[in-house]
A and B are shown apart, each in its own frame.
Chain A
Amino acid sequence: EPEVTQTPSHQVTQMGQEVILRCVPISNHLYFYWYRQILGQKVEFLVSFYNNEISEKSEIFDDQFSVERPDGSNFTLKIRSTKLEDSAMYFCASKQGRETEAFFGQGTRLTVV
Chain B
Amino acid sequence: AQSVTQPDIHITVSEGASLELRCNYSYGATPYLFWYVQSPGQGLQLLLKYFSGDTLVQGIKGFEAEFKRSQSSFNLRKPSVHWSDAAEYFCAVGPITGGGNKLTFGTGTQLKVEL
Contacts and interface: CB of A to CB of B under 8 A. Distances in A.
Interface of A: 4, 31, 33, 35, 41-45, 47-50, 54-56, 58, 91, 93, 95, 98-99, 101-107
Specify which of B36, B92, B103 lies most central, judged by the most chain A CB atoms within 10 Å of its CB. B103
B43 A91 contact: yes
A42 B106 contact: yes
Interface of B: 32, 34, 36, 42-46, 49, 51, 90, 92, 94, 96-97, 99-108
6 contacts: A43-B44, A43-B105, A49-B100, A103-B46, A104-B44, A107-B43
A55 B108 CA distance: 27
Contacts of A91: 43-44
Given A99-B51, A101-B34, A101-B49, A45 B43 contact: no
A80 B102 CA distance: 24
B43 A44 contact: no
Contact of B36 (A4, A50, A104): A104
B100 A42 contact: no
A31 B49 CA distance: 18
Contact of A45 (B34, B104, B106): B104
B100 A101 contact: no
Nearest to B97: A98
A43 B90 contact: yes
Given A104-B36, A104-B43, A106-B43, A98 B105 contact: no
A49 B46 CA distance: 21
B100 A48 contact: yes
